[in-house]
Amino acid sequence: MPDRLTRRRHEHYVGLAEGMLAVYRGGMGQMRECLHREVRSVFASQEDCPGRRIDAFCKLLDESAEYEHVSSSRAAELRIRVFKAAALLHPLVNEADPWFEHEERSAKEKVAAQVQMTWLELESQLFADLMQYHRLQSFDTEVTATDMLARYNVAQVQACLFDAVKMSITARADFKQLLRYAKLAGLMHRIYRVDEGYEIELDGPVSVLQSTHRYGVAMAKFLPGLLACSDWKMKALLKVARWNRHAVLELNSNCGLSSTAAPAARFDSTVEEKFSEKWGTEAREGWTLERESEVLHQGQKVFVPDFTFVHTSGRRVSMEIVGFWTPEYLHDKLITLATFRDQQLILAVQEAHVEQFGEHARRMVTYKSVLKIDAVLSLLRQEVAA
């Protein structure tokens, strides 16, 4: 079970989170290890907070911070110079005497002078390449206490997914966004049509191997994107080596976890938005309009058309609106249409680019700035007649 903070049991953590955020907001120039030490002090009187939870909070805080990095070669070079100079003054004592002439304070001043720094400057840079000695440069002041606690809960589920070898999702909406996040995470997919929508299985080519966490990490990366989608159920198969057994992790879109990923825009363009508004929710000549409700797929190639028209007879016809973004966009669109040429698909193409889509003329409607409903209905009548 992932460690999870709840409003009922951990209401006091909001105040503790405010304390942790105050440490970082007021910690400019401090070393990472000092900030972590201060965060631990926030929990000094808390008996219900294990060390691993505090470590996780520190990691989340660091993810919203930027630290000043000193190149490892520069710091290593400085250490070599300092240690060589200091070796000649060994041993050091607190007070010089006839047998031991090198007193610590004066020795530090001599070494610092050789590298043309004060001792305080030298001491701050000597190990500045090590992570714990990085100094805080900036911190995201937009992060709130509730944001941080929500991120903690998500991170705990992500940690469980490190052991995942397979994930299955049943989705009824947001197909394009869900598949986009899966692709960004480097996951392979198989898609099946089911009564509830689509079942999407995610894994990787070596996910069956016992020794790899590669695809579990990819599924953990995918989780915030999944949480940004709506109307889904997920089941992940975990191979937990420390237990020598399999486990199952189940979530759904009502699980209470909130995403740090940005929700997808409802429409990709004003042309789509205006067309959807004009069509409305009522049927026209027996056709109702659905937004991005069809997933076309061949192998790892996936295409989610902008709209799907569903007829009272049960017939489904998809429509893709082609505007102009870049020449590369048009080129990729032509390749996609060639891949799915056998599908029930009509096109709405901006007038300026009709010539490039000439081979699709029979199933194409054109527009200048606004896509007209009558033109689309005329094309749908031909589909019914066919």
Task: Delineate the domains of the chain, giving CATH numbers in brackets.
Answer: 13-69+134-149 (no CATH), 72-131 (no CATH), 162-252 (3.30.70), 270-385 (3.40.1350)
pLDDT digits (tens, 9 = 90+) for 45-62: 888 888 999 999 999 999
Grade residue 261 by pLDDT with cuts at 50, 70 and 90: confident
Distance, in Å, from the CA atom of 194 to the CA atom of 175, rounded to the nearest integer, reads: 14
Q: Provide the sign of the torsion angle of the four alpha carbons 123, 128, 129, 131, taken in this order.
A: positive
More confident residue, 326 or 122: 122
Considering 162-171, 206-215, 260-269, 375-384, the range whose residues carry the highest mean pLDDT is: 162-171
**Coil, helix or strand at residue 326:** coil
The per-residue pLDDT of the chain, averaged, comes to 87
Grade residue 206 by pLDDT with cuts at 50, 70 and 90: very low
Peptide bond into 327 cis (omega under 30): no
Tokens representing residue 205 in the block? 């080519």
| Mean predicted confidence (pLDDT) in 310-333 | 84
| Mean predicted confidence (pLDDT) in 122-135 | 86
List CB contacts of 198: < 8 A, sequence separation 6 or more: 170, 171, 175, 191, 192, 295
Q: What is the pLDDT of residue 324?
A: 67
Residue 208 has pLDDT above 60, yes or no: no
Grade residue 385 by pLDDT with cuts at 50, 70 and 90: low
Tokens representing residue 241 in the block? 């080596």
List CB contacts of 291: < 8 A, sequence separation 6 or more: 266, 267, 276, 306, 307
- Three-state SS for 156-196 is HHHHHHCCEEEEEEEECCCHHHHHHHHHHCCCEEEEEEECC
Residue 209 has pLDDT above 50, yes or no: no
pTM here is 0.72
Q: Let me know if 21 is exposed, middle or buried by CB neighbors in 10 A (0-12, 13-18, 19+).
A: buried
Distance, in Å, from the CA atom of 44 to the CA atom of 250, rounded to the nearest integer, reads: 35
